[in-house]
Each structure stands twice: as structure tokens, then as C-alpha cells.
Chain A
Amino acid sequence: MVEKLFIQGNEACALGAIKAGCRFFAGYPITPSTEVAENLARLLPKYGGSFVQMEDEISSMGAVIGASWGGSKAMTATSGPGISLMQENLGYAFMTETPLVIVNVQRGSPSTGQPTMASQSDMMQVRWGSHGDYEPIALSPSSVQEYFDFTIKAFNLSEKYRVPVFLMTEESIGHMREKISIPKSVDLVARKEPTMSPDEFLPFKNRKNATNPMPAFGDGYKVHVSGLTHNEIGYPDTNNPKTHAVLVKRLCNKILKNREKITSVKSEFTDDADVVVVCYGAPVRSVTTAVKEAREEGIKAGYLKINTPWPFPDDDVKAVCESAKDIIVPEMNLGQMVHEVERVFAGDAEVHLLSKIGGELPKPSEVLNAIKSVGGN
């Protein structure tokens, strides 16, 4: 039986986490993400899980990493200022290949900015925020249903690739209420555990584009979990150039070489489109209205919705926008993902940023005007 509910985005995220098997949450409340924590504080104990309100976001990320190595599917939820504090431990999570999910309900930034207003200004923060080379996965929902579905997907991807996964939403979707369907059962990715004897097990083995099995603390396997450059056993080996190159390339390639399996997009009206709007997250809602109106006026416009900003879906964007002369990228920031679109097109099409900051969604009329002004007429 499918259960239907009329609920807020952040509440849907909490339900999705429970459905995905998340049994640990540590965090520090921050608008506009607090309802995720609030709902999980109520739900987790009922499912045998744990909820901890920490003293700040630094310790929150530490606790989530620890819970994951303890064998739990673990998550936290925050907003831009919280992600800033989490960056050091996030780097440790990438280096130690710790599966976990971080929800970022984005608000106006920089600094404490606009707590109750929406933005998309952390898209590069989660891509490059911690020092070093690494490849994150990020998902961007555009509806309350997708926020639920993508939460489950985030856990699955994080377990499959042993990597932190960001759920990048905005205040608009976090606080919006819509109808969602909760399926009775969902497909889950179980953490791959080692099957060989503890003596033979290499926890950080150099596997080509694949993820190593991960034992939980207490399973009997000896695992040294270090943020230092480590060898296949997990021991620091920091002066060996080869060890470092092999390790960091493996961390990146397990994502990049599986890009097609990870990324997902949705497009409409793009086959003959002169203008394609490339969008993600909440602004998709304005874009779909605008593109339909443009079509009614005889303008050949289409849109491409990116579900996974990271890794960026290069090939999909290229394929869908092939016929387009102009590409519009609406963002609730001063231009972040637009650089990725420009990189992919490198001169083949005109890429225009439609930027709006201040906390409000772009209006459909603003997107429609942009479509008209770039040559849709």
C-alpha cells in the first residue's frame, strides 16, 4: 500500500532517511534545515536509532563519521554556515571513504546571511570546500516527492561508492508542503562487508574504479582509519609519492569513472529547441512553467533538469543541448553551476546566466523574458 501524505519537504527528507535505513543523526539546529532534525529526533528512537544534538557542526560531522564506521547509516542536516564548520571533517570523510549523507537546505549567504530565505549559493562550497582533490556526489530535488526519493538515493549512492553524498536543496523546497507517495518498500543498497579472513583483508586496496568492502568497528577486522595518506592496509605512508598518487586518483576515479551510473537528468521539449534552459533544484519549478508558455507562443524552447549537480553530467548536458543556439542557466546565486555548463560547451553555444539573489525563486515571467531576449523570437 502506498501511503499518501501532505507534508513539508524537510519532513519528507526525514521519512526518506528512515526508509533508507538511516539509524543515526547528529546535528546542530539551523534554519532552514531544522525540521529534518526535529522529525528525526522523534522518529529515530522508534526505529531503534539514535539522535544526538551536538554542541556544533564540527562535532556533528565527527559523530556522523564515527557512527558510519560503527556500522550505521548516518546523516546530518544543516545549512551553509554549518557546512563551513563541517569542511575539515568532511575532508577526513572523503579521505577515509566514509559513507554518510549531508543535507544542505541552502539559505542566503555569505556568512549567516538570510536564515529564512532561499538560495543556491553553496553549490561550489560542497564541490571544493574542503582542501584537496576529491569528488563528491550531490543531488538536487525540485519537489517534496523528489526530496523524499533523493534522500533514499543519497544513502544508496553513499553506500555504493563509500563517499559523502550531499542533498542540496533550498529553503523553498525544504519548507514547502506538497502531496507525496510513500512506497511500502524501496530498493536499498546494503553496505558491502568483507568476506575474507581478517588476516587477508586490505581495507584500502587499490581496486580499479571500484569500492572496497567496509567492516564495522567490532567486526574483528583491524582497520586504521587515517586522514594521512595511507597504504592499502591503512597505515600512514606520507612520504611516498606513488602511494599518494594511487590513493587520491582512486578516490576520484571511483566517482568519475562511474559518472554515467551516478548522474541523472530529465529533459522536455529539447529535440528541436533553439533555447534550452539548464536548471536544477527549486528554480526548475519556474522553468517548466516558462518553457510551456514559450512553446504556446511558438518559441522553440526546452529545458534540461539536472538531478545530480555533482559529478556534473557532462555527456547528458552535451547531448540534450546539441541543437541549441542559446543556453540559459537560472541560478539563485551570482553564477556557480553556469561555469560547468560553459566548460561543457566551450564555444559551441552561447551560455547565459539568469541570476537572482535575495531569497526568492525566479518568477516564470523572468525566465520567459530571458528566453525571449536571447533569440527565441
Chain B
Amino acid sequence: MRKEIRIAGFGGQGVILAGIIIGKAASLFDNINAVQTQSYGPEARGGASKCDVVISDEEIDYPKVENPDILVAMSHEALIKYMVDLKQGATLIIDPDMVQEDDIKDFIKERDLTVYHAKATATTVNEIHLKIVANIVMVGAITKATGIVSEEAARKSILDSVPKGTENKNIDAFEAGMRIVEA
């Protein structure tokens, strides 16, 4: 079953690394297939930045995301830019402090979206005391809300991807994400 995931925010939030971690978790540790692609150029340096991951238990031919099954929005700009591509009945994960959900109430209804909330940015400031791990909080939220990768694979992938010496903070962030995500 092919699943398309898009993680979007503004440049600097670490959406690319979040996508790499999900892709790596699926392909190296859950032993299914994954392809990760991302936006490049000026748009990746401050504007809306996106990271796409395709996950499938079959071989992945076409590597690009066209209509996501899952959209993770870490900024309002990214939400507005990419929500139109979502499949009918898709899953939307948002950081409620970073987006105005009221603005898209009608769209959520029309597209029959399942919405999850994860206060990733606030959690990193208040609990982890390290703002740069908001992306890893989101990895926790994605893992818990969608089950697209296993918890064990996500943990291994994080440890394989983050700089040495930051493992504990990142695992804390991952666990916080698993805990705070709610419908």
C-alpha cells in the first residue's frame, strides 16, 4: 500500500530532517520501501519548505508525492500552500500555535480530513528547553497518530540521524511528541 506524506513548514524548522527520519525508519528499520524528496533553492531558506516521503510495502516507482495521505503543517503559510493537494479523507497534523485552524474549517469538512494537533513548538520550549527539536517532536506525533512507521523504527532512525551528544534530548522530544498529539 503506497502512502504519501508531506511535512511542511518554514525553512529552519527541520522539516527535511523529520522526513529523512521517517523515510529511514521505514526503509532501514521497518524493512519496507521509502523514497524521500524535498524542496530546494530559495524556498528552502525561510519561505515554505517541504519534505516529501513515499512509503510502500511494494517497490516504489514514481518517487514524487502528488496527493498526500498525510500532511504535517508546522506553519500557516505551508498549510495553505499544500493543503489543496491532500487526498479526500486524508490525515492532517498541525501545530495549533503555528496555524489558524479556524481559517480552514470548511476545507477540513469538505475534504473529510482527520485532524491531529501537536503543540510541537511550545513543547520544545517548555519541556525540552531546546527549540530546535520541534521537528523531532513532530516525528513522535506522526508516529503515534498515523502508525506509518513503528515506534521502535522511529527511535532507531532518530538515533542514527541526529548529531552525537544530542541523542537524549532528541529521544525526549520524540516521546513528548508521542504524548502530546491529540485529535
Contacts and interface: CB of A to CB of B under 8 A. Distances in A.
A31 interface: yes
B40 A175 contact: yes
Q: Which DSSP category, helix, strand, loop or mixed, fits chain B's interface?
A: mixed
A172 interface: yes
Interface string A112-151: 0001100000000000000000000000000000000000
A178 B62 contact: no
A176 interface: yes
Contacts of B24: 6, 177
B63 A172 contact: yes
A301 B61 CA distance: 17
Given A31-B40, A176-B35, A4 B62 contact: no
A91 B126 CA distance: 62
Interface in B121-168: none
Nearest to B38: A175
A285 B40 contact: no
Contacts of A172: 37, 63
B111 interface: no
A6 B20 CA distance: 8
Interface string B81-118: 00000000000000000000000000000000000000
Given A4-B28, A6-B20, A364 B37 contact: no
B64 interface: yes
Given A6-B28, A32-B40, A363 B66 contact: yes
A95 to B, nearest CB: 37
Nearest to A361: B64
A171 B24 CA distance: 21
Given A179-B28, A179-B33, A285 B38 contact: no
Nearest to A115: B41
Nearest to A282: B63
Contact of A6 (B34, B38, B60, B63): B34
Nearest to A5: B28
B170 interface: no
A258 to B, nearest CB: 32
Contacts of A226: none
Contact of B61 (A116, A286, A360): A286
Chain A interface extent, by class? 20 to 34
B36 interface: yes
A364 to B, nearest CB: 5
Nearest to B161: A6
A175 B41 contact: no
Contact of B20 (A32, A177, A286): A177
Contacts of A5: 28
Contacts of B34: 6, 178-179
A288 interface: yes
A178 B27 contact: yes
Contacts of B27: 6, 178-179
Interface in A341-377: 360-361, 363-364
B36 A176 contact: yes
A259 to B, nearest CB: 29
Contacts of A171: 40
A174 to B, nearest CB: 10
B9 interface: no
Interface in B29-61: 33-38, 40-41, 60-61
B22 to A, nearest CB: 10
B62 A286 contact: yes
A53 interface: no
A240 interface: no
Interface of A: 4-6, 31-32, 115-116, 171-172, 175-179, 285-286, 288-289, 292, 360-361, 363-364
20 contacts: A6-B23, A6-B27, A6-B36, A31-B40, A115-B41, A116-B41, A172-B37, A175-B37, A176-B35, A176-B63, A177-B23, A177-B24, A177-B35, A178-B27, A179-B34, A360-B64, A361-B64, A363-B62, A363-B66, A364-B62
Q: Across chains A and B, which 9 residue pairs bring their CB atoms closest together, nearest first?
A: A116-B41, A116-B40, A177-B36, A179-B27, A6-B24, A289-B61, A288-B61, A289-B62, A364-B62
